[in-house]
Every structure is written in C-alpha cells, then in structure tokens.
Structure 1
Amino acid sequence: MSNLGRLTYADMKIQAVGIIQMRQSTLFGFGFGCTSLIINQFVRRYKRSRIRFCFTFGSAEIRQSASDERVTWRAKTMATVEVVFFLICSLACAPAARAGTIQNFTQMAASNGLECEQYEVTTDDGYVLTLFRLPGNSSRPVLLLSGAFGSADDYIARGNTSLPAVLARAGRDVWLGNVRGSRYGMRHRTLDPAGSAFWDFSFHEYSVSDLPAIVDFVLNNTEQQKLSHIGWSLGTTGVYVLGSERPEYAAKFRVSISLAPICYMHHSPAQVLAALTAPLVMPALALTGTDGVFVDGSLERSLVLSACSSPATAYGVCMQALYPVYGYDADEMEPEYAVKFFEHYPSSMSRKALTHLAQTIQQRRFQKYDYGLLGNLRKYGSLSPPEYALGGNNISVVLVSGRNDLTSTLPDVALLRRRLGGVRRHIVLEPAKFNHIDFAHGINTHSVLFEPIILSLLEEYDDS
C-alpha cells in the first residue's frame, strides 16, 4: 500500500521538538489548548479518519492507526486546519519578526555569485511590476513565473542548485517576473496598496495584463520575436488564459513549460479547503476590510515569520500544515531549509484572486470571476461567468507533473491535457514522492528535473 502520506517516526519526533520549543509561554499554551479542544470536536465528526492531532496546553501527540499506512485526505485536511489554528493562537506570544534580516532576490543572487539586473514594467492598467534578469545569451530568453502566494524569490531560494542558476550556467538569458500584489508588485501609478481599489484583481488580470506586459518588455529588451516560458503552479495558469483570451500572443512563445499545472482541481484536497474558506474566511476578510493577505509587515505575515523561525518549528509544525495539500515528501525538504522557505513564502496575494481560485475549484469550471447573478449580467451579459476557451490556445505547452502532487493531481492534469489546445506532451516525473513544493524547492530537483528535462526541452524548442 502507498505510504505517500505517512508520517514517519522521525517526522513525529521533530514535530514534537517544534511544539516543545513553542510552549515556552503559558499564555500560548492555554490559548492553543483551548483552540485544540474546539478543533478536535470538529475532527471527531470524521469517524473514518486515521490520524488526529491532539494538542493540549502546548504538548503534542500524534495518533495513527498501525494497521493502515495511508493517511486519508480528509484526515490530513483536518490536521492542516488544526495547525492553522495553532499558528493563529501562537500570535499573541510570538517573538518579534526578523523581516529585516531576510535577503531579497538581488541579495540572494549576489550571495550565489549570480549577476542580476532589475527592471520595472508598467501594465496597461498602471501596475508597476519588478522584473529580474540574470543576463546571458539574449537570443534565447527564458521567462519564469511563480505560483499562488509566490514571487521570484521562490525560484532562487535554493541558490546554486535553483532553476535560475541552472539556466544561467547553461548560458540562458533568464528573466523572472512578478505579478501585481506580490512582494515585487506592490506599486501603481495612481493607486495606493492601502486602498481597496489597488486589490481589485484576480488571476484573470495576471493573465491578460501582467503577463503580456512582461512578455513584451522581455522581447523588446532582447530584440527577439519569441521567448520560452516556465511556470510553476498558478504561474502556469496565466498562459492558458492568455492563449484563449489574447490568441495573438501565441506567436511570441517558443514553448511554455508548465510545472505542476493549475487549471482543474477536481481531485485535490484543495476542494475541502475551498469549501471551508469560501463561506468562512472570505466573508471575514471582507468584513474586516482585508483586501490583500500576507502583505509584508501584516499581522499574518509576521505570524509566519515568528512561528516558523527555527528548523524544528518551520519543518515540524509549519511545513506539516502544507503537506496535506501539497503532498508529503520529507526527503526533499530538510528542516534547515524550511526556515528559508517560510522567509519568502507566502508572499502577498489579493482576496479577489483567492476567491476566483476558490470559485473555479468549487464550481468545477475553469471560468472567469463570478460576480453573482446581477454582477455577471452587467459584466458578461449572462447569469453565470463564461468558461475560458482552452481549446483555442495555440501556445505550445509541455505539462510536467509529480506523482505525489496533491494540488496538481495526475487525473486533473490528464483532463487539462484533453481540453487545452497546444499541448505537445505530458511528462510525469519518476520519483514516487515528488510533490507540489518540490518543483521549486526540492533539494534534488536540479538533478531530477532542471538539468535532464528542462534544459533538453528548451533546446528542443529553440528553433521553433
């Protein structure tokens, strides 16, 4: 039987260490214990669950059925919910955030001996986006885009084994883009990020405004007609939307390599998270006037930096909250690196973009933003939002999947392959535990994916 979701003894041990380090405050322990009692009442409704996190006054016990190695997706989701509540309860006594000591993209590039240039791109609706470049052969530009809650930082965090470093050493002209509302997309010609108007965008605007502006900027600066694109997670989605909404841009792509493609999520635990957050979290954010989440300096971002500040807590607690949704692969994420991971993730994102993503998950349709019946009538002339015409895409796309990716699952990518025009092939990586995070952050991803597969794909499409 598969053990992809299994918590090993070593993982339970480091998680316990993390909890012990966090129970130093009596206030924290009491708050965490009370919250755990509430959440466990919710967890008990799921009688078939094989795992339950039992936190009481800051101590932890993990109970797992010895007769079943597989942790059910429902149980893992409930575990995630409890860890999230733990993080919220820890805020009151968390140590001061250390944001001032965290390296930005250019600093990380310099520390790894990589030459880096920085540019500004202005979209057609006034957003000012930061674009990074690791200069190389300008006749072969490659554009990298990260996913939800991401930024260019995700790609370079691994240093000399990161994808930008591998591409730069191969002589590629590497460009890394950032979308509006992310850490490097917090400016506008007239709008203030403190106001709601700044955050009035979803992933539709990433696709039809940000991506075209970045593509045109790169091509103009390199004096080329085409570029290659590599996207990860939601960084793949923009190409599918762009190809259907603005088909003239197909001529500007040699190839788009989709790492962990995000379009359909019918088989992902994200279904459960969307069902929980859509009716609960989103209205709460709207009620409090929170239009952007995880903005640098915000309460929630400071919480992550504080709670995930040591190897024991970053891996033993914080990372465990992500594994149930992204897939469990302890071999590719060492505890020391988990601290660096949370220094840069999650980056800021708009509430509207999250809502749009949740809508596509819940309604099981890859569609435009749902404004409600009356809003849809005004916006689209129909009661429901139209689906994106994926079949009309003419950009050459190569899909790349991980066998243990619980966010971009194999059945969902197979559905995307059937419906998206321009798909040339679908590559499934060999490692059995390769998950959603590994595409950018796995310790061995350079030898599994970057060097043997991505470099070969880029060479294959160089003359297309």
Structure 2
Amino acid sequence: MLVILSVLLYTTICCANQPSIVSRIDSNELSFENPIQTDEELIYPTIDPNIAEDANLTTPQLITKYGYKAEVHYVTTEDGYILQLHRISGGNKYPTKKGKKVCFLQHGLFDSSATWVLSGPGHGLGYILADENYDIWLGNNRGNRYSCNHTTLNPFGSSKDRKHFWSFSWHEIGAYDLPAMIDYVLAQTNQTKLQIIAHSQGSTAFFVMASQRPEYNDKIEMMHALAPIAFLSHVISPPIRIIAPFVSAVETINSLIGLNYITPSNEYLTLAGRIMCRDKAPTQIICSNLLFLTMGYTSDQLNMTLLPVILGHTPAGAATDQLLHYGQEVNSGHFRQYDHGRVGNLIRYKRISPPDYNLKNVKAPVALYYAQDDWLAVVKDTQRLLKSLPNVVHNYLVPHKQFNHIDFLWGIDAPFLVYDEIVRTMKLTNYDEPNMDIDIRNFLAL
C-alpha cells in the first residue's frame, strides 16, 4: 500500500498553470507579500503560519523573506533548454560584494533550488554558506518547475513537442545543463573556478560532465558529492528494486501513451501536504513513511514540522527517462549511458550495449560524503565509486548510524554532522595529498 501511495504522490498529472516559454527575469518572482489565505488555514489554525507560507513561496521569495539578497538568472543550453538559476549574493552578515569565492549547488532527482533553503537560516546549506561569505548559486536542471522552458519546444504543447522536450535523462543534465550553468556563473562573477556541491542525481550529472567533457575539470576547485550516485548494484530502496526489473516494459508503455514526464508539485498536492503532514495530524506518520520507504528508514533526523514545506516544493518535476536510466543502472551494474535497445544503441553508439562513463577522466578534486542508512547511495556502491575516481581528496562517512539519503538536505543534525565538515573541507588549500581520515571500518563491519 505504501508503494502505491508513494507512486500516487509523485505522479500527479500536470494540468493548470503550465509554464510558458520565457527568457527574461520576472521581477514578480521576488514578491511574497500578501500571500493568499486559504480555507484550510482557517480550518487548521494549529499550523505555523510561516510553515504554511513557506510551502507556497518560490526559492527567490524564500531567500528574500529571510533577509538575504536574491537574484534570478537565466541561461540557455546549447540544445535550447532555458534554465533558471537562483543566487544568494549576500545577507546581513556579509552583504553583496564583488570578488567573493563562488559555490554552485546542484539538487537531485525530483528536486529544485528550494531544497538548499527551505529549512531556513542556520539550517539550510545555502544560507550557511552565504554566512561563510560565499557567493551562492543554486542550479535548476531541465524539466523541473523553474527550468521547464525551451527556445522552440512547448513542454506541455503538442505531442511532438512533449516527446522532444522530455526526451532526456541525467546524461543530458550532465552533458549540457551543468556546463552551461557553470560557464554562466563564472562569466557573471569573473572567476576562473568554483566549488560545487551536488546531492544525489546532481552528483551523477557531475560525473557525467567531468567524464564526457573533461575540460570542465579545470573549472572546478573542488566537488563535494553528497549521497553520491553512480553505481546502484546494492540499492536497497524497495520501490526501486520493484520497478527495476520492469524498466523495459515501462519504456514501451511510456512510448505508447506519451507519459514522458512527472509533474511538479501543484496547489492540490501542496494543500494535501499541509493538511496531512502538519503537526498533530494523525496522518503525519504516512508522510514520513513515504519518504523513509524510498530513502532509508529513520525517525530522529526528520523534522516533522517541515513536512508541509517539503511537499510544497517536492516533487519539482522530472522526465521519466531520468528514472528509467537509474533503473537500467540497477539492472546492468554499470555506470553507463542510456540504453536505447540494440538497434538504438547501434545507431547512437555504433555498438550493441551503451558505453560506460570513463570515471578516470574525473580529474577534479572530489570529496565524498555518504551515510550508513542511505538506501539509494549505499555504502558498498559508494566504495566502488571511491575506488574508480582518480582524485578523491576527502572521504567522509557521516558518524550517525541512522543518517539517510534526504538527511543530507533536511536532517535535524545535518549542520553539525555534515555541513561543518563541508565548510572545513572547502577551506582546505592543499589537495595534493588525499585526506582519507574517516575509516569506515570504525562504523561498519565489512
């Protein structure tokens, strides 16, 4: 039943308020005054007004609300996707100033730039790094609520447009989106290098970029991979394990009925989250268990009060091929390009099976941060990734036995358990000697 509820939660069909094609900054996106009060707020007065409001605000509105300087930028990829970037250029502690060191944050699957700030100042990594005097840029990959635009294609238009717009996986995010965003950020800040922090699929896309377009390694001062995903041979997550054997069948069904995408969270899902997941609601446990079922079971790290905000921003939209590509990785045991079938592979790759990504090309310094109770980025698969990368300079297993995949983003103790370690590592200046100071045998019997 939980599997069914999880699928329903993440596959609501998009209908109203479909985004139009845009290529400019909309100043209205920074306005958050006079939010609309709903009947639900009157019916359930126990919900914190800030929680109710934060569930509906955009990323720039959240940043502005909490006293930081927000900017909205757009970049167009070489294949025509229009991506929206969000910037935290300063706050009360460190105002906007030219010449700051740049840090670029990239979200994971079903997620958006909001993930780095929705938990609020002092806890959201975006705010914490801004308070460390970094110039913060938050990416949004193609297909999520902020980057659902194209120069010629309407993502919700004709069947032909939909098919072509949504025909991408995380390969294209790594091959096109990340390079375009990195080039734009460096040009805007007049810098030659930046630090990048990526969670889950964000790390997958980075490894694609660094292996397929190795010239970008020279633009990375350091890559911090949170819950990194490349290999999925040991994935534990029940929904992933259940779906993986049927990837080919799902691909066929999708091609027949045109189910190319999974919609962003809409007003109805947001309202449901605020009603079902609010404090003191008897259904709140269902919300938490839906997350635990996929990501890893724990209870002491999830801030239950934050659930309505999380569901107000997640899922943020994705192409079904992103999921299917991960399913292929589970089945194959490889970190490789999208499998288009024998005929498709021959046409595209000139070989029957898709080629593996060459991780030896990932020359940029990489720091890995992973957790024991992560059912997606499992320790054994992360160890395999560690051994495959040529320049891992920091290897950190979170010292908490129940820390899981989403705790890297919203865990109650994430600032203490993870973010302090990230900040310390970011400030290192000598990457010549790998820092393997965390011996996982102290935590696990391997």
Name the TM-score class by shorter chain.
Answer: 0.7 to 0.9
Does residue 131 (structure 1) correspond to residue 85 (structure 2)? The answer is yes
* Aligned amino acid, residue 3 of structure 2: V
Structure 1 CA distance for aligned equivalents of residues 80 and 39 of structure 2: 35
Residue segments in structure 1 that go unaligned for 5+ positions in a row: 1-35, 37-79
| 8 Å contact kept, 1:368–1:385 | yes
Residue number in structure 1 paired with 2:426: 458
Question: CA contact under 8 A between 2:264 and 2:314: conserved in structure 1?
Answer: no
Aligned mate of 2:356, from 368, 373, 387: 387
- 1:344 pairs with 2:344: no
Q: Is the 8 A contact 1:144 1:175 kept in 2?
A: yes
Q: CA deviation at 1:410?
A: 0.9
Residue among 79, 98, 105 paired with 2:59:
105
CA contact (8 A) 1:87 1:303 kept: no
Correspondent of 1:367 among 304, 327, 336: 336
Rg comparison, structure with higher value: 1
Residue pairs, 1:74-223, within 5 angstroms: 80-84=2-6, 102-136=56-90, 138-160=99-121, 161-194=123-156, 195-223=162-190
Q: Say if 1:259 and 1:399, in contact at 8 Å, map to a contact too.
A: yes
**Residue 406 of structure 1: CA displacement?**
1.4
Greater percentage in helix: 1
Q: Which amino acid aligns with 2:422?
A: I
TM-score by length of 1: 0.76
Structure 1's 90 and 109: CA in aligned 2 closer, same or farther, altered over 3 A?
A: closer
| Paired AA for residue 174 in structure 1 | I
1:295 aligns with 2:264: yes
Displacement of 1:379 in angstroms is 0.2
Distance 1:89 1:449 in 2: 31
TM-score by length of 2: 0.79
2:403 — aligned with what? 434
Q: What is the alpha-carbon distance in structure 2 between the residues aligned to residue 177 and residue 399 of structure 1?
A: 20
Counterpart for residue 265 of structure 1: 232
Deviation at 1:324, TM superposition (A): 2.6
Alpha-carbon distance in structure 1 between the residues aligned to 2:248 and 2:40: 31
Distance in 2 of aligned mates of 1:85 and 1:190: 31
Describe the shift of the 1:232–1:418 C-alpha distance in structure 2 as closer, same or farther (beyond 3 A): same
1:187-336 alignment to 2 at 5 Å? 187-194=149-156, 195-270=162-237, 271-275=240-244, 278=247, 281-297=250-266, 305=273, 308-311=276-279, 312=281, 315-336=284-305
Paired amino acid for 2:102: P
* The 10-residue stretch of structure 1 (255-264 or 311-320) with the greater mean CA deviation from structure 2: 311-320
Distance 1:374 1:105 in 2: 43
Deviating more after overlay: 397-406 vs 143-152 = 397-406
Aligned to 2:20: none
Aligned-residue CA RMSD (Å): 2.8
Deviation at 1:354, TM superposition (A): 1.4
* Aligned counterparts of 1:429 and 1:324: Cα–Cα separation in 2: 20
Identity score, percent = 30
The answer to whether 1:396 aligns with 2:318 is no
Q: Which letter maps to 2:56?
A: I
- Equivalent position SS for 2:368: strand
Judged with a 3 Å threshold, the aligned counterparts in structure 2 of structure 1 residues 302 and 187 are, in CA distance, closer, same or farther, namely same
Q: For the residues of structure 1 that align with 2:40 and 2:350, how far apart are their CA atoms? A: 48
Contact 1:269 1:406 survives alignment (8 Å): yes
Structure 2 contact 273–307 (Cα < 8 Å) conserved: no
Deviation string for 1:371-411 (max 9, x for gaps)?
A: 10000000000001001011221111000011211111111
Aligned length: 381
Is contact 1:140–1:462 with CA below 8 Å preserved after alignment? Answer: no
Give per-residue Cα distances to partners, 1:428-462, cap 9 Å, x unaligned.
11122111111011122112221x21111111149
Q: CA deviation at 1:308?
A: 4.4
Q: Taking structure 1 as reference, are residues 324 and 305 closer, same or farther at Cα in structure 2, changes over 3 Å only?
A: closer
The Cα of 1:305 is off from its aligned counterpart by 4.6
Change in CA separation of 1:89 and 1:344 when aligned onto 2, cut-off 3 Å: closer
Q: For residues 264 and 222 of structure 1, what CA distance do their matches in structure 2 show?
A: 34
